[in-house]
Structure 1
Amino acid sequence: MTPPTRRAVMGGMIVLYTLALARIALAQAPLTPLSGPITPDAFLDLSRRLTGHDDLSPVLGARILGVLTETGQAQPLRDLYLAVSEGGAMPPMEDADILHQILHGWYLGRITVGDRTHLTGFEETLMGRVTADILPLRSYCGGAMGFWAAPPATGPLPLREEGQ
């Protein structure tokens, strides 16, 4: 038996996180009703509900929404929005693909539709928030050529006091 890949573990964690948010969704105010196609603000409201993060990047949200609408996912996205706005704690299972695409866009910075992967971002994705206090995501070179050969500077790590 082969061990699970990192992507499979991350995908499973995203699904479990979404299931945990189902209980929180019941206590939240309803989403604004749609009168046409989903707007960037409505998409951010939906994304806040699905991820549990209030401080999402509007730029990354616009990129994710753009990829979803350009690849023909506008109707499933609208259906998911309506399902969540009607007070359902969890979207119906037929909306699972669009749900995964949204969460992959926010957490991993890429969305796979069919056999094509669309990159939406890197620095502002949610996967970097887990280690942001110690290890920031690098999206550019950290020094002159060969800087990685020198051992890193070490020092005392800021440890949390008990009870914090």
Structure 2
Amino acid sequence: MKKIFKTAILILFGIAIIYQFYIFIKPDESNKPSIPDISLVLLDNKKTSVSSLGDDKHTIVFLVNTQCDYCKKEINELENYIDRFVNTEVIFILFEDLEVIKDFKNSILPQENSFITFAQASREEVKTVLEKELVYPYMLWYDNKGIQKVQHRGLYPIARIIESINNSHD
């Protein structure tokens, strides 16, 4: 009887240790940043925000510059996978004059897509959500619940984004 009691205590103790270890290592979603409410001016001069455009969708925000060759490469890469985006909003934010942004958009991505937005924003407002110094291109990726998945400086493989979004069961 004592042996069974000792074994049961050891098993319960082992389960408690495993549970505590799980709590320690599991990711804490509550500490992850949520989708920011950055004010945007769209190409048609309407005002909106990142959070309203990405409502209930995966949202990928690229901070780009018209003079940045890597930014152009990122946009061209995205264009190669354009038909594979599902329930996703892609927002390109620039800190330049609206007319310059329009010309840039028309030269690099002339076709219209309902899920791709080019917009102007305030550099000061965007800086508050960046973890690192701004280097173009800079990507912020949020899941359909508005929780940040990735924040990345430089080029990021678009294929990896597509694969993750299409395989998610959120």
State TM-score, norm by structure 1.
0.28
Q: Greater helix share, 1 or 2?
A: 1
Give 1 or 2 for the bigger CA radius of gyration: 2
* Structure possessing the higher relative contact order (Cα contacts under 8 Å, 6 or more residues apart): 2
Q: Greater strand share, 1 or 2?
A: 2
